[in-house]
Amino acid sequence: MEGDGVARIPRHVAIVMDGNGRWAQQRNLPRHAGHKAGVKSVRTSVEESVRHGIEVLTLFAFSSENWKRPAGEVSLLMDLFMVALQREVKRLKRNNVRLRIIGDRSAFSDKLQQRIAAAEAETAENDGLVLQIAANYGGRWDIVQSVRHLAARVASGELTAERISEAVISSGLSFSDLPDPDLFIRTGGEQRISNFMLWQSAYTELFFTDAYWPDFDARAYAAALDFFAARQRRFGMLEEQLSSATPNPPDSTD
């Protein structure tokens, strides 16, 4: 039912998986224990997304700013990423989930880049849920990449500045072939976007929870989906203007 401006199930859910370190510290455990515990919540989120018929799930695993963390923690995160790719890819393939990694891979080791490419190739034929892992990703980086591409096209004469539109800029961003996120979830009690999909989140519904990521279970995910189902998405229009189909976000703000 979408005639009242309400989309009951989001097509695309994006999650900032925050609070792993604090979850571990509360239990007198090293921070990396929280990151390991969070893998279970990743599995739960994937399973629940499949069960609810969500098309795309994007998880913010490692931001371009996370390199500023202590070298030991960064190294452990890279090791965990490698192990997770090796262990989870068969599960994803079995459940018809397609894996995509978005972000700047050039900073990763050759071994990790090869593992990423192999995992994507192994699930490339799946046509169910698209699971995107944002790794060494930043919203500003994403926009810069698009602008650089457009600048090169203008310099070559392929494109004129007058023809640059929102749609043209969007076409150069990560996952431009997929819908923008409908629902943004952040765990861990913080209430900010933290440079995550800045352009694509212009009309995204924002849901914040105090639960740390390792505690984000099926019930917590359901609460976020219930929040979304209750939202009326007007995209700048008045309530009485809403038609039988949910409109695309316009250029103006609401």
Neighbours of 86 (CB within 10 A): 12
DSSP string over 182-229: SEEEE-SS-----SSSTTTTTT-EEEE-SS-GGG--HHHHHHHHHHHH
CB 157 within 8 A of CB 126: no
DSSP string over 50-94: HHHT-SEEEEEEEETTGGGS-HHHHHHHHHHHHHHHHHHHHHHHH
Instruction: Identify the active-site residue in 18, 142, 180, 182.
Output: 18
Active site residue 18: yes
Tokens of 21: 């370190």
Active site residue 254: no
Instruction: Identify the active-site residue in 66, 95, 126, 195.
Output: 66
Catalytic sites, residue numbers: 18, 66
